[in-house]
Structure 1
Amino acid sequence: MVKPEARAFVESLEEIDEVLVIDKKKAHRGLGMLKLIRDIRKRNFRILLSPHQSHRTSIIAWLSGIPTRFGYRSAGFSMAYHHRLKRPMELPEIHRLLRFLKDSICPDVSLEDDIPHLEETETGRHEAQELLKELNIRSPILLGCSSVWATKRWTPHGFAELARDLIKKYKSDVLLIGSPADADVADQIIKVAREFVGEDGLRRIHNVCGKTSLPGLFSLMKRSQFLVSNDSAPVHFGCAARIPVVALF
């Protein structure tokens, strides 16, 4: 069960039989959550794995009717779970999730198998190819210039200087990537860059925030040289795309 924006990704994985969507902002907001719970109960699932800590997730688990439920003992309303597991805060999040699997239903899972795995979709591949064709570029450099959390964002001036230096060193175009909500941040970076980047350099900096879906962004990464990004979703997509990634903290 995933958020709407993640659906296209997980549906492309051959290991996945079916994807349920939880839309907290629209369809399943408020009493709409009861509709989701009824849908889950109809399916007679046998096992529930919930590496989430919110009260909402615990309540869904409690009302799901699923006979075997695994969750964290530190979760809100943790009594919803039959098996309450320790959340090892000393480990990185990816290793916490692998440990969750190991301690629940996959005792043989290796904590070393920690590289995300995603598959390109036909739609995503087409989006990326069309965007690069429209911009008339190949093998760009990507900058993940924003984040949902303002405290995680590097400064517009910092990204503008970095774009200038990367263009000078690699003679490549730089794409500022993100969601539609990040477009203003990217515009601000380009505005700052006008102060010290020449006209030729400005022509090589492109704001493509919101120009692709998430599968399209993933396909774009697979056709790029490398990624420099704030601590945000593009970091994980870049790792899954097997390109060099520099994360800014």
Structure 2
Amino acid sequence: MDAPQKILIIRLSSLGDILHALPAYAALRRSFPAARIDWLVENRARFLLSVVAGLDEVIEIDTAACQSHPFAASSWAGLWKVICSLRRRRYDISIDFQGLLKTAALGLLIGARERVGFGKAFAWEWPAHWLYSRTVDPEHSGMHVVDANQVLTQTVGAPRWSGQVQFTVPPQISNGVSEQLAGMKLSDFVVINPGGGWPTKRWPAARYGSLAERIIRELKLEVVVTTGPGEDELFRTIQSNCLARIHHLRLSFLELIPLMKQARMVVAGDTGPLHLACAVGTPVVGIYGPTSPERNGPWLPADRYVVKVLPCSYCYGRTCPTHNECMDIPVQEVFREIAARLEAA
């Protein structure tokens, strides 16, 4: 098979899932340095791909508008305009990492010479596999998503990539974060990110406070708690349960990139910031409950996670009838994994 000259990646959302696809992209770029590689994504996630090194173009598409306003001609007109523009590019290969009917249909309409996607056993919506010209199923349904994505890229001739993902963050963002750290006199620190899109993924904030105190007292490291919009109460609860001083940074997702690169470790649940830390190669300890760490956990070999396995694991539920029993994980268990990971670093 000749090396492809034009490749289209289809992974529309979400931030964590896009981060899981970045090692597969890095494998493509490393294997086909002269190829044009574009990425089709929903507009709300474009900002992350805009700082990924080596992508030729990030193309926005608004499928959400078609779903929320299915009878509005303008919604479909915008979608069709993007599809027609991409058809004219005549891609050699499109790779659908999402496995939905809508993403498979987009690949079909865009008309790449070869359309690669997951087979019936692994596609998120199994009928999607009918719309690909080449399908592949990972060895088992519980395979880590990062590895499964690279099964797709291996089938087009890109060997597995296990290195770091390269980001090109604007200097004003990197310098701004460095200035904040310098102002706090921070150089050797652990990042705790207590938030999460799903309430069921959140470890109790009070336990993060107790954990932070042990990190500071016993490991002699500073602790930085990062929060997003509307999460200040999480920090206040953490600080009120920690007798030592901890630091608080309210950062955008792009600002987290230079912060993660400078951290000794990141501790978080199954969230975008945890997967970002993996992407830049920072040591990670993940705290897992409703989602499987074997499928969605930290993906670097030395990284660690803590999980409480119950009969209802892994439900992938955003609400819980048992009051998040799976997140009832003792502080000692998390601290033990942190100490072990730091020793292995």
> Which residue of the other structure, out of 181, 190, 205, is the alignment partner of 2:247?
205
Normalized against structure 2, the TM-score is what?
A: 0.60
Of 161-170 and 3-12, deviating more is 3-12
The Cα shift of 1:219 comes to 0.6
Q: What is the aligned partner in structure 1 of residue 301 from structure 2?
A: none
**2:217 aligned counterpart, secondary structure:** helix
Of 2-11 and 66-75, deviating more is 2-11
Q: Distance in 2 between matches of 1:9 and 1:219?
A: 13
Number of matched residues? 235
| Letter of the 1:127 counterpart | G
In the alignment, structure 1 residue 54 sits paired with structure 2 residue 96: no
- For the 8 Å contact 1:72–1:84, the answer to whether it is kept is yes
The Cα shift of 1:215 comes to 3.0
In the alignment, structure 1 residue 191 sits paired with structure 2 residue 247: no
| Letter of the 2:159 counterpart | V
> Which residue of the other structure, out of 129, 151, 154, is the alignment partner of 2:178?
129
The Cα shift of 1:188 comes to 2.8
- For the 8 Å contact 1:95–1:114, the answer to whether it is kept is no
In the alignment, structure 1 residue 114 sits paired with structure 2 residue 162: yes
| Letter of the 1:226 counterpart | M
Q: Distance in 2 between matches of 1:19 and 1:126?
A: 25
The Cα shift of 1:143 comes to 0.6
**1:21 aligned counterpart, secondary structure:** strand
- For the 8 Å contact 1:73–1:86, the answer to whether it is kept is yes
| Letter of the 1:205 counterpart | H
The Cα shift of 1:116 comes to 4.0
Q: 1:83-102 counterparts in 2 under 5 A?
A: 83-88=134-139, 89-102=141-154
Q: What is the aligned partner in structure 2 of residue 246 from structure 1?
A: 285
Unaligned stretches of 5+ residues in structure 1: none
Could you list the per-position Cα deviations for residues 140-195 of structure 1 after superposition, in whole angstroms to 9, with x for gaps in the alignment?
A: 32012122122221111211111122222344442222432xx42x523423542x
Q: Distance in 1 between matches of 2:134 and 2:242?
A: 58
Normalized against structure 1, the TM-score is what?
A: 0.80
The Cα shift of 1:127 comes to 3.2
In the alignment, structure 1 residue 72 sits paired with structure 2 residue 123: no
**1:19 aligned counterpart, secondary structure:** strand
Q: Distance in 1 between matches of 2:101 and 2:181?
A: 43
| Letter of the 1:59 counterpart | A
Q: Distance in 2 between matches of 1:22 and 1:223?
A: 34
Could you list the per-position Cα deviations for residues 198-221 of structure 1 after superposition, in whole angstroms to 9, with x for gaps in the alignment?
A: 3xx24x231x24x23x33211111
Could you list the per-position Cα deviations for residues 59-107 of structure 1 after superposition, in whole angstroms to 9, with x for gaps in the alignment?
A: 211211222111122233322211122243242111111111112x11x
Of 18-27 and 222-231, deviating more is 18-27
Identity of aligned residues (%): 20
> Which residue of the other structure, out of 245, 255, 270, is the alignment partner of 1:216?
255
> Which residue of the other structure, out of 276, 281, 292, is the alignment partner of 1:237?
276
The 1:155/1:175 distance shift into structure 2, 3 A limit, reads same
The Cα shift of 1:120 comes to 4.3
**What is the CA RMSD across the aligned residues, in angstroms?**
2.8
- For the 8 Å contact 1:28–1:35, the answer to whether it is kept is no
The 1:139/1:162 distance shift into structure 2, 3 A limit, reads same
